[in-house]
Structure 1
Amino acid sequence: MSISFAFLLKHIRPFGTSGYDTFCSVDLANFLIGNLGLTLGDIRVLYTAWRGVALSDAQSAAIIDCAKDVANARWGQLQQTTGSTVMFLSGIQLQDLSNASLGQSFTWRPASKIAVAVRIDGGHGGHHARWDVEGFSGNTDSQGAICHFSDLV
């Protein structure tokens, strides 16, 4: 099982030091350079910003701002959707999700609750934060990689 890089970029950001260390990997940097044309300098700036958010409090404005940035980046590159949800995961949660045996349509509940998830509304850009989230449902692609977010549980 794996998490597609597209899913990772659209729906996940790191939370805590372990989340940052797991999320901001060499593999992700190589994907960003090879597929999005970012430079090493761009990666340094991006990883520094993600570190600041990852180390912030779950109720921090930085969390909301990060989710809004993700939504705006998605909608600038792709079609407008009804909303954009970003989950902030710890390192253990990222590893568990990466190693989970999930069916094509699944519900994932980590051993510990997700610290915070933020949904940005596609219509007016309003937001709704949820703390201590049980998990989420989604889908995998034909290779078994997590590729689609459906809803929080």
Structure 2
Amino acid sequence: MGTARSTSCWHRSWQLLLLLLGLLLLSPKLCDAVTMQQFLQSLDMMRNGCMGKFKVPLDTLDRLRDGDFSFEPSQDLLCYTKCVAQLAGILTKKGDFSVNKAMAQMPIILPAELQDPAQKALNHCKDEPKAHKDQCAQVYYISKCMADYDRPNFKFP
């Protein structure tokens, strides 16, 4: 009985997320006006959407947020990063990391001051996913590469 309730709740959460993303895509003014505060709030929403699915300590997630990848990741942590990428709309239909989708999402989800640094970091790290067959590892290691490339501008949910 609890499973049906949680599945229903999960389904409603996805519907709400899709509705919000749809509104962002349909409203250029909203897309152009993403502030740093709105961006940080969206990081919290993505974190909350993925945190309960994987056994990752909050202090580990806080370290990631600040770009600290100086520890051996668990499989749960690897898959947490994939979950975030899925929420951000930067995975292919097969679940692989997509540089093109990530580039297309930047003007929508990043504040203006982070767009250029993020594009440079992504271009620098664009081949990183090719080194990993595991889809969860693809996202984790491109994120790590981007954090290593430009830690002051790196943010992760």
Give the TM-score band, short-chain normalised.
Answer: under 0.3
Greater share of strand: 1
Rg bigger for which structure?
2
Give the TM-score normalised by the residue count of structure 2. Answer: 0.27
Greater share of helix: 2
